[in-house]
Structure formats: structure tokens, C-alpha cells
Chain A
């Protein structure tokens, strides 16, 4: 088999001194067997692939209403976590892990999210030092499926995404359930459980055409400056990925017992209204569950709300974000009641998402058992944009690699430990993550199943 090094720039994160560096390394085709499942099968799921995803909500929580007091298996569920009670055995709560700024500014709702996802807080996404932690995971486990990863924005805005390969390469989101349906279950979809399979000659032609373009344009690389070479390389990589997808479409997909082709959802116009947001989110979660069960993707990033959460209740002039800053602390209750309600609603949405994954039977268990979902926010106490103890929930056992039913805490621990833990659980050979005070080589061992 030929090993192509020039057209396939996949990212491996390494370190040089204290600075994170990004190294282009090819992802070799030989990682994939003819069904594209060989690598995934080595990741702990046995015959079933392990999936990974993030779930994001904005504006954090009220610490005394969210953080369990008890640590370990006997953890309590404070009011804002109560919506997750039905999934208590399937989740682990991670508290006390945050973002250290090392003298950098705390740009509200941005620094914390960037720091959580890249291990290096910055003032804006166009300055990030490296990829978000979902990207190397997708490069490692997502390549054998039709979509390396699916980015989903429940707010209906394709610009809402927190998945970045670099400062200029952004993974844009699918904004609605209907868009997701057309993308995954549209004309290119092959039911893995269908009886027969005939390769489509039109797909063969499409693949051949893409290959021709790549060969023709490869000559450009030697004629361009460094910045343009990088962009041409991105172009080649993108073309190659699409070619790979077409190659998969020319093979009979392996059977997926849990796969049930979903019905087409109705068209929704999601906006900041929390009821409409949740409806779009639920529909997207159910479609995503089937996209995972049908082996269309293994990695996803769901944004339930933007970092400075835009959620609002119909008829109320003050939305969630404004409320975090402006709402008086109720002297009787001891907290901001509207903020508390929105934070709890966000956890209700997370519970619905987890339920959608748990509802799909797979093998001897459920789809959720073969997943790791890392849910997190951008801040802890939004009123003051606090970056210590950014709330995080792990859901799913990752094919037996992650322990659930725990509350793990720490004191001013770097959230980069969470990203490192997730990457190692997904089988990546990465031993450090983050820079400066956020640099760590210590995964959260309590979460890793022995």
C-alpha cells in the first residue's frame, strides 16, 4: 500500500518546552479496514465502535445550587443537577476544574471556553494556539465513518460552533434538525441493514473526478508561498476526505443492528426562546443518536446555547445572560431565581440529550454505553464570569473505559485534565495537554476504568 504524506495533514498535538505545537502527521489509510472500523474496534468497544462528543451550554451555574457536596459514589444531586437524576448511574460530575489565565485577560464567556477546549485561554477564537480537544479525537476515531465529526447548533445558527482545527479552520454547525436529516439521511445514505447493495456508478464517477482534480492541483504546491501552501494542503485534505467518504459509499456498509432509519423531522425555526430551542435540540439529539447507531459518524459537538447564553422565556424582557448580571439575589432564597431556572433548564436539556442516546439499544446494552459525552460550560458563576470550577458532566461509559456514578472534584485543578482524560479514554497517545499553568500530564484517574 502506498503511503501518501503530502496530501493528508492530520494534526497530532505535541509539546515543545511549554508551548503547544501542532504537527501535521498523515492519518494512514491502513488504520482503516475495508469497513473503516478496524481502529474503532481497538478502542474498547469490541465489535462496537466507541463514540465521543461534547455538549455545551452557556452561562454556567450557581455553584451552591449545582455542585454536589459529597464526593465519590454517594454524591448528592443539588437542585440544578436534579434533572439528571434518572441518569445518575450513567454520569460522573466533575467539579473544581477551571481555567487559569496566567495574567491574560478574562474576556467574558470567551477566555474560559477557549481555555477549557484548547488548554490555552486566549482573547478570541482567531488567536487560538491549537485545536479544540474534539478535533484530535475526531482525527483518531472519526475517519472510518462518513462524517469525521458532526457539529450541531440547537440555536439554528451555523456560526454557533466551538470546534476549531485552528484559528482559521472552523467546523461550522448544522443548524436544524431538518438540515441534519438531509445531511446524514439524505440521498447519499445507505441503510446498513438493507438486504442488497449495488455500487452507484455515479458515485464512482464523482470519486474519480475528485481524484483527477487533486492530481492536477498538486503541482500548485511547489509554486506558492508558505501561507498558500497551507491552504492548498487544506484543500487536498478536504478533497481526500470527501473521496474517502465516496469510497465508503461504494461498499456495502457493515450491518448496524441498532440502526433505524428515522423519519424526516418537521421544519423548525429555532431561536432564543427556550421552548423552541429545546424542541429543535430534542429532534437533533434523536437524529444524532441514529447517525451514531447507523455508523454515519463517531464524533459530534452539540451546542445547546451560545457561550453568553442567549436563552430567554417568551414574554420576559430579560434573557438569561442579562439576568445573570442584573437579577437581584433573592434575600429569602439566597440566589438569583431566574438565573437558577435557566441553569436548571440547561441541565434538563442535557438530560434529554443523554436520554436520546440511552434510548437506542446496542449490543447487550445501549448506545450511551459506547459513548463518552463531555458536557461543559464557559464559566461557573456567570454573574462574575468565574473560571474556577467550570461545571462539567461526563456521560456514558465509553465502551467500558470511563467510570460513571461518581462525583470527582479538585481544588483549582486545570480543566485541561478533563480534555486530556477524554483524549486518553478515546485511545489517543497524548500525554500532555495545555500550556503554562494549564499544561498537565495528569488525567483524572478516578474517571478511568481500570
Chain B
């Protein structure tokens, strides 16, 4: 604060201001110090707020790419030799440098980044026939069907070399010998699907509107000499109306999914290769089905129809039990024209669908979302999703290739997949699942944060259920009834408990408490009842004692007399627990829990965490609550006591309500601590991300999840960013809790502001 010396001098002339000269230097120094101290304080506060905001910015910066919409741009369009053959006649290498198309008589490689083109490679052994159908059996492996009923295998590879630090790609192709599927070699192959299974390749070809033939090759390894190949050819019975308009084999060769011109989807069970039969059929659409495609992993079928509808189907157990049936999972955004091609991503459940009018949709199978809509040239005949899911190559009827770059690093993440139930492959209904790795690439990682939020709240709930009553009652006792000389020891000791590293608590909980609790669960549940009964009995006996004996104990130190009572109560409770288990629970409480209540028992469960985390939270709640109780003005207590209230009535009716703002803060700060607690939940819960209220099962908390998974998450990947989202949630949760706590505290404080 600056002193206006001029104003001081300007007083009445007959009463001059006290001369300031003597103290001026000291005053100046004081003002300077004052100013700098104030600035330092402001600086400190600003720095703290800034660093918290900086943390928030970093977290949000890592999370934001998850929810950035997909983007794509057309990089180039180039004309290739001729119109593509029907079917899966287009492909691209994983660096999107060279695409290839299969035309009616040749294989054509086309560079995508530079101009020019490779010479066309004629398909050998055609003998004047045309290629009328192309099927892709695996990546780069195509089956070419000819107009005279034969099939040629084609294997396309790209050899990658690095010369002078530059990548050089060389396309390579390998043609197999033609095999006749129509023995008379009269009927053209209209559509073709093939797969290589563990027992040998299977090829299914459509040779007429309603005629399917299946060739199975069984390779038998002989002890000496080359393996014997036994090929068998059989016609598949068609038991539906209309014509066959699309079909596809799954990667295991177990199922043939077939679409008809009447909009029916038929599944053939091929597990018994000698007797293939239609297993189930579903009406999908009124229009003809133009497309059947499997997503990565061969569990989900994408079906497109002549009206532009796209849906996904999975083989799920029937609701009433019985044989599994194809079940509709998602309906995608409609195309404006018949769907002509679909290409799955090789790394996730995304896929591209193309329609005849040039519409391209980028869909995601699990979420059912259409992420991107693109307009390509009209008359599309084929589309392929680049192996790294970062590009699309399409080909139209005029043989024009279009190359799209797609930027969509996290197609599987939307707000809905993170928080809402998701219908994953192989699940009977939508569920909340956290499973950060699928084991194989065929199964996707499942990132639902809901079970983790649930776990965090569950752990917090059980911890507070244990800690709040104990801590508050202890605070009330210590502040209102305990002898000050005892309190002088008790309070610091409890506060030291707060300094106990939580890793030690977690370690003890997981390795010592959990097995211990497992042995005495029935006793543990009897403990509160038995202890209460014991203590009340002890108090009653105490009251019956003659006054002279009672006076030996100093007021406020009676609590020590209760120590043996509490120990005896615990002993009694655990003894009774054993008896109860033997007499009422059939000698095995775990069996009883499962049969009577349907609860499973995990050794590391919420009960153990509740107790361990309760121990971490008790000192905080106790200390803050005790402080606020002790800060209740003494004259309020005196006022109440002077009216003839007992100390208990005073504590309950005057002290407790007056201290309620502080007690509320105590609970909220304890809540915040329990929410953010990591090591205890990490070590004592088993970390199973399940969602149930069962106190005997474990859970996985957000904080523990971040700790467990972050070291193994590739930087920038979906898991990495989802973990940052979990951190963001934790941040928001504690921020919200603390804000609410502060607001309520201020409100309550205003109410008591005149004290």
C-alpha cells in the first residue's frame, strides 16, 4: 500500500503532519517488500493454475485425434488397359504405389504415384477363352474363372527392396495351371469364391443362374513321395427361389453365404464336405442381393443389395437356444445406387462399399457407423481397401483407376464405442467390454471405458462405505469426548497413517489381507453386529458399576477400557462366523453364495479393496473432520451444555451441524483420493474389468487401467489415446467432485458466517 505523503503534508497548517523524513527509507523498503511479496504470491497462483491447464491441454491434445472425423482426398486417376473382369479384380500393395487390375484376358499393373504403366501380362492357358469372374481367396490370391468353365489361380506379390535408402517395389505374379470345374467346358463361370483351408483348397463356382459347383481338394501327406491330392467335384443343391446373385466363402471353409435375386441370404454348412446343405436362410431385402463380403476375421458378413442398402450379419445362437442363425447386427447408411463392391480392412473391422453411381462409403463394422462418404466417378465396378486401411483404389467400367488417400487412424473409436454398449463379434448382445488386445488380429480390441468408470466408482463406494462411518465417528469421539492429553497422541498417529505409501497398503491388501479375508468372510460380516453388541453390553456393565469404582478412570480415557472388549468381540465374531458357516451355510460359504445368492467369490475382491483403500482414506477424512469439529466455537458447546444438554446431545445437535461444511469437505476430499487411488486398486482387485455390484468380485479402476496398460500401448495408437481419455475422465471426475465440494462448502459456510 502506498502512502500519499503529499496528502499528509497538505493538512491544516497549524497542525503539521508528523515529519516523515526519518522513516521514509524504511517505509519505502516496506512498500517494496510488500509489493514484491504480493507479486510472488500472484505469480505462484498463476503458475499453479497454468500448469494444471497445461496438463489438461496435453491430455486433450492426445485424446482429440480419436474423435477427429475421417478425411480422404483423391490423389490420382489413371486409365488402365481395359474394363475389369467381374468380381474382385482390383488390388494394391501395402504402400499404395502399384495397383493391379484383372481384365478379360490379362493382368495389368499400374503405378499410382508416377505416370506410365507396366505392360499388360496375358493370362496363360486361356486358349481363346475370356475371364468372366474373379474371386479373391486371400490377400493377393485370386481365382480367375473363364468363359469355358475353368479356373486359374493367380498369386500377386510385391517384392520390397531398399536401394540407397529408397524403397523399390517389384510386382510379381504367378499363374497356376487351369483346372476345369465344368467337365464339359461349356458353361462360363459367372461368380467364383475360393479359400485355402487347413485340409486343402475349396473352390465354389457359379456356372448357371441357379447352378453351383464345389470343388474340394484333400491333400493327404504320404510318408514317402509327394502329397497326394484328391479332388472331388459336386453340385450344391439350391433350395431357394430366384437366382444366385452373390456368394462368399468364409476363411475357414465352414460356411458358404449366398445371396439371391429375391433378397434372401442363405448359409450353407460346409463342415461336412461330403454333404453340404443349406443351414439357415433369412430374408434381407426385397431387392436382389448384389454383394456378400466377410469382414476381417471372417465372422461378420456384409450384405449389399440392388437398392443400395448395406447391413452386417453374424452367426449367433438363437435366442431360444438351438442352432445358430444369421442375425442382423447393423444397418448402414444407404447408397443411392446398387452396391457393387465391398472391401474389408485387413487390420480392423472397417470396410469400403461402392455403388454403381460412384458413391463410396467408409463404414465401421463394430460401431455401425458410416465414417465417410465420397463421390467417385460413376459406373464403379470394383474397389479395394488398401492393406494399411489408409487408402482406397477403385476401378470403373471404363477401366479408370482412382486412388484415394484416407486419413482415419482410429476408425473403431467413437463416443458411442467408448461409453455405450457395443455389439462385438461373437457376442449375443451389445455389451460394455474392456479388452485392450484381441489375442489375434482377427479379433478387435474392445475399448469400453464404462466398466472402468464403474470399477472406479465401485471401489470408491466400498472404500467410503468402510471409511466414512469409522473416520467420522472417530473424529467426533476424539474432538468431543477424548481427553486432550490422549488426543495429543492419537491425532498425529492417525495423520501419520496418511503418509503410509499406498503401494505398501496395496501389497498388504493383495498378499496378506485377501487370503486372510477369504478365510473369515462370514465372521467379517458378523463383526459389526457382534462388536456393537459387545460394546453396548460393556457400557451397560460399566453403568452398573458403583460410582466409586468408576471415578478411578479419568473422564475421556475410558476408551482404553474398550480395547479388550473390542478384541474379545472380534474373537467372538470370527468364532461365531465359523459356527454360522458350518450350521447355516453348509460348511462352505462360497458354495452358499453361489447357490443362494448367485454370487461368485474372487479372492481379490471389492471387500478387500474397500478395507485397504478405506485405510488410505480414513486419515484424510478423520483429520479434516476432526479439525472442523474442533473449530466449532466453544461458546456454542457451553450454550448447549448450560441448557442441560448432555455432551452427546451437544455433539450431535450443535457441534455436528455446525461443522457440517468441514465434514462435507472431508468426505469429498476422501472421495477424490479414493477415485484417484492407483496402487491399492491395482494390487488388490485382480483388475478384471467386469461390471457388477457383487462385493465379492474384483473390478478394474480407471487409474489402475492407465497404470497397467500405458507401458504396453504403442504411442499414438488407439489404446494409447483411449488411456489418455481415461486420464481425462479421471481429471474431470476429481475436478467435478472438488468443485461441487467447494461450492457446497462455501454455501454452508455462508450459512454460518456470523459465528
Q: Do A and B come from one complex?
A: no
